[in-house]
């Protein structure tokens, strides 16, 4: 192969690899529901003999580095009377956990740098805080976390989430609170105080700002780039295939030419084992007939 063709083949392989990697990136799903189940199992596995009112860190496998999960067990009566102030979360008194049970567990979930993998905002918004989630479960002597989820019903005073650790530098935009609802829908709310969001139930929350094309997340840009490169790769693949087929056809013809003695011209064709110059066809026809008989 000459140098030109080596280049084509090298490009072909690079494009195929890029295309496959972009495909894998697209197909990789970060399913939040199954992650939630995983958190519960992990909490039950890791936390032995939990004390009431103590916040426990849950250790996660190393491929989850960057996420943080904490759990606390409480008596629902005490939760109702005193509320809960810890970390980002401020639950006022008289929030009713439902269904009515004696004990409950609250999971604190901080998705850190995984936030944009598990939670999507429309492309005209940019997440400016990690996603924080708090979920309530029933709890009993048998299981720290039971399968049953609990609702927290606020009466008047909202639950507050403090994103005080988030500071936007050099941006004029005021962040907007976002709650992630079922099937990818979002609920927007203005902040009640700077970097404080109001919540009226459990769920996953973050802050967003309206985004321009220029401050899209790097992840999106790579995603698009992967697709473009993959597409170009496909086009190149087709081009290379066409070129190769053409080249091999040419090579065959060249071979024919070479095989024909003394470089006879194209107007040669084969009858059985005998080579006939096309031009002499008419003239030599009698000879042909003789040969046949
Ligand atoms: C972490 O690894 C486990 C298998 O060891 C896999 O099931 C899980 O999906 C991985 N999680 C992430 C976020 O990569
Ligand atoms: C998040 O950061 C940790 C290190 O702090 C890293 O190991 C992990 O791969 C990162 N996760 C993602 C999705 O970038
Ligand atoms: C949490 O803070 C609120 C006021 O923000 C207060 O009313 C409540 O008593 C506090 N609860 C606890 C358990 O400290
Ligand atoms: C948020 O505040 C802006 C004005 O600053 C207002 O136009 C908008 O309707 C408010 N949005 C919500 C969801 O309250
Ligand atoms: C983002 O797009 C949605 C519709 O897709 C629209 O309702 C919303 O107002 C847009 N927000 C901004 C900040 O442009």
Domain spans of the chain? 29-217
The residue with greater pLDDT, 119 or 277, is 119
> 272 in ligand 1 pocket by Cβ < 6 Å?
no
DSSP secondary structure string for all residues of 37-106? HHHHHHHHHH--SPPBT-EEEEP--GGGBTBEEEEEEEEHHHHHHH-EEETTEEEPS-PEEES--SEEEE
Residue 264 has pLDDT above 90, yes or no: no
The residue with greater pLDDT, 280 or 205, is 205
User: What span, in angstroms and rounded, lies between the C-alpha atoms of 79 and 48?
Assistant: 22
pLDDT, averaged across the chain: 83
Q: What is the pLDDT of residues 204-259, one digit of tens each?
A: 999 999 887 545 555 666 777 777 888 888 888 889 888 888 888 888 767 766 66
Return the residue whose CA atom lies nearest to atom 6 of ligand 1.
63
The number of the ligand 1 atom at minimal distance from the alpha carbon of 61 is 1
> 188 in ligand 4 pocket by Cβ < 6 Å?
yes
CA distances from 45 to 85, 138, 188 (A): 26, 16, 36
Q: What is the value of pTM for the model shown?
A: 0.70
Residue 286: the pLDDT is 44
Residue 284: the pLDDT is 43
> 101 in ligand 3 pocket by Cβ < 6 Å?
no
Tell me the two tokens of residue 139. Answer: 């709890």
Q: Which ligand is nearest to the CA of 68?
A: 2
Q: What is the pLDDT of residues 12-68, one digit of tens each?
A: 778 877 777 777 665 566 788 889 999 999 999 999 889 999 999 999 999 999 999
Tell me if the bond preceding 99 is cis, omega within 30° of 0.
Answer: yes
The number of the ligand 5 atom at minimal distance from the alpha carbon of 125 is 13
210 C-alpha to ligand 5 centroid (Å): 8
**β strands within the chain, DSSP E:** 55-58, 68-75, 84-86, 89-91, 96-98, 103-110, 125-127, 132-139, 149-153, 159-162, 176-180, 186-190, 196-199, 203-210, 268-271, 274-277
CATH code, residues 29-217? 2.60.220
Residue 266: the pLDDT is 46
């Amino acid at each position: 192969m000459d140098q030109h063709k080596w280049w084509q083949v090298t490009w072909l392989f690079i494009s195929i690899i890029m295309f496959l990697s972009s495909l894998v990136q697209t197909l990789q799903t970060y399913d939040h529901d199954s992650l939630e189940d995983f958190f519960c199992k992990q909490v039950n596995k890791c936390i032995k003999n939990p004390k009431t009112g103590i916040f426990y860190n849950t250790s996660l496998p190393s491929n989850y580095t960057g996420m943080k999960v904490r759990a606390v067990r409480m008596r629902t009566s005490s939760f109702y009377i005193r509320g809960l102030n810890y970390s980002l979360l401020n639950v006022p008194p008289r929030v009713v956990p439902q269904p009515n049970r004696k004990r409950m567990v609250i999971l604190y979930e901080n998705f850190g740098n995984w936030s944009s993998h598990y939670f999507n905002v429309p492309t005209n918004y940019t997440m400016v805080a990690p996603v924080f989630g708090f979920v309530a479960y029933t709890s009993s002597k048998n299981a720290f976390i039971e399968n049953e989820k609990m609702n927290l019903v606020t009466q008047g005073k909202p639950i507050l989430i403090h994103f005080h650790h988030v500071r936007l530098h050099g941006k004029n935009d005021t962040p907007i609170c976002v709650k992630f609802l079922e099937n990818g829908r979002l609920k927007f709310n203005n902040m009640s105080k700077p970097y404080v969001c109001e919540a009226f139930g459990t769920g996953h929350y973050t802050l967003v700002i309206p985004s321009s094309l220029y401050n899209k997340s790097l992840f999106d840009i790579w995603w698009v780039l992967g697709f473009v490169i993959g597409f170009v790769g496909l086009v190149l693949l087709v081009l290379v295939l066409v070129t190769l087929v053409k080249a091999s056809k040419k090579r065959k013809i060249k071979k024919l030419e070479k095989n024909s003695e003394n470089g006879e011209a194209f107007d040669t064709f084969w009858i059985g084992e005998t080579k006939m110059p096309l031009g002499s066809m008419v003239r030599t026809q009698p000879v042909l007939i003789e040969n046949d008989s």
